[in-house]
Structure 1
Amino acid sequence: MAAIPPLCDFGWRAVDARLQATDGRTYSIVDLSGPKGLVVVFICNHCPYVKAVIDRIVRDAIALKDHGISFVAINANDAEAYPEDSFDNMKHFASRHALPFPYLYDEDQSVAKTYGAVCTPDFFGFNRDRELQYRGRLDASRKEIGPADLRRDLFEAMVAVARTGKGPTDQQPSMGCSIKWKASV
């Protein structure tokens, strides 16, 4: 069953954390912000929703860079229960898809919990002041690759954020596989 995150909590501030990336470096989420904003997306390697849109995520991340918006992806899934989402497999995924942004590992799931991430993919679009302005979908794709002419919801919203600092009030929520949480001890 698909999970759907809540709508945008406008003005909520991006929370920082330092996480290991597939390129062997450790990054501060906030330090990755571009001059006009940042997109933080929670993804994983095995989710059919992510697999259907990963090429579009890469396309939009590259295009948003020209607008001063940076991009970072975070995997918080329980890799013990879902081995395809292991850190080693994240490295393969990042390489196979030529991710042009850091792909971070939230092994203890604390960042996903702080952000209130619900599904993969789950997009958080922040303005230059790191205030949340977008919590919606990439486009109307689901588990299948949608037609090439789909409206680029995330891209259009973040271009507006780069230009005005504000996101659209009308946002369609993302949809995807639920975050695979570790069992409580």
Structure 2
Amino acid sequence: MAARPPVCEFGLPAPEFDLPATDGQRYRLEDIRGEAGTLIMFICNHCPFVLAVLDRIVRDARDLQALGVGVAAICSNDAATYPDDSFDNMAVLAREKGFPFPYLHDEDQSVARAYGAVCTPDFFGYNADAQLQYRGRLDASGRHPAPEGAPRELYEAMRQIAQTGQGPRDQVPSMGCSIKWKAA
């Protein structure tokens, strides 16, 4: 089922976390933060919306890291119900796609709840002071990639944040599969 996150709550502080990554390390928010800002992405292995743009996510992450933006991806889906999203499968995907960022596992889903993540992909762009400035989409892609040459909305927003500390006021929410929450 497709879901859309709410609009950006400018200035909201980035929630702390301490999560295991597919590279065998643990990461806290402080480990991810970049001098010019931070991008936290909620993704997963099985979602067609994520798979449609995964190469673009990797491209934009590399380009943003070159600008001093720290980047991490988090998978919060219930792996018992969606085994493609298991930690072992996350490690395979990260290796196959050459993720230039840590791919973190939020097994108890507490980090997704703290961030208010709704869907995959869901992007949270913070300035150097860890204040939310972007809660939009990657680009015009949906279940299929946008045409080549489509505006790089996430990249341009994060570039603006890196340069000015402020995100664009007009943002189009991301759209994707809903987070697969564990049964209560």
Shorter-chain TM-score bucket reads over 0.9
Q: Hey, what does 1:21 align to over in structure 2? A: 21
Gaps of 5+ in 2: none
Report the Cα offset of residue 148 of structure 1.
1.4
Describe how 1:52-131 pairs up with structure 2 within 5 A.
52-131=52-131
One-letter amino acid of the counterpart of residue 72, structure 1? A
Report the Cα offset of residue 112 of structure 1.
0.1
Identity of aligned residues (%): 60
Q: Distance in 2 between matches of 1:155 and 1:82?
A: 30
Residues 162-171 or 63-72, more deviating: 63-72
Q: Distance in 1 between matches of 2:44 and 2:2?
A: 14
Report the Cα offset of residue 147 of structure 1.
1.3
Report the Cα offset of residue 29 of structure 1.
2.0
RMSD across aligned C-alpha pairs, in angstroms? Answer: 0.6
Report the Cα offset of residue 31 of structure 1.
2.2
- 1:40-84 Cα deviation digits (max 9, x unpaired): 000000000000001000000000112111110000000000000
Q: Distance in 2 between matches of 1:108 and 1:172?
A: 29
Q: Distance in 2 between matches of 1:16 and 1:159?
A: 23
Q: Secondary structure at the match of 2:157?
A: helix
One-letter amino acid of the counterpart of residue 68, structure 1? G
Q: Distance in 2 between matches of 1:90 and 1:114?
A: 21
Asked if residue 170 in structure 1 is aligned to residue 163 in structure 2, the reply is no
Q: Hey, what does 2:179 align to over in structure 1? A: 179
TM-score normalised by L of structure 2:
0.99
Gaps of 5+ in 1: none
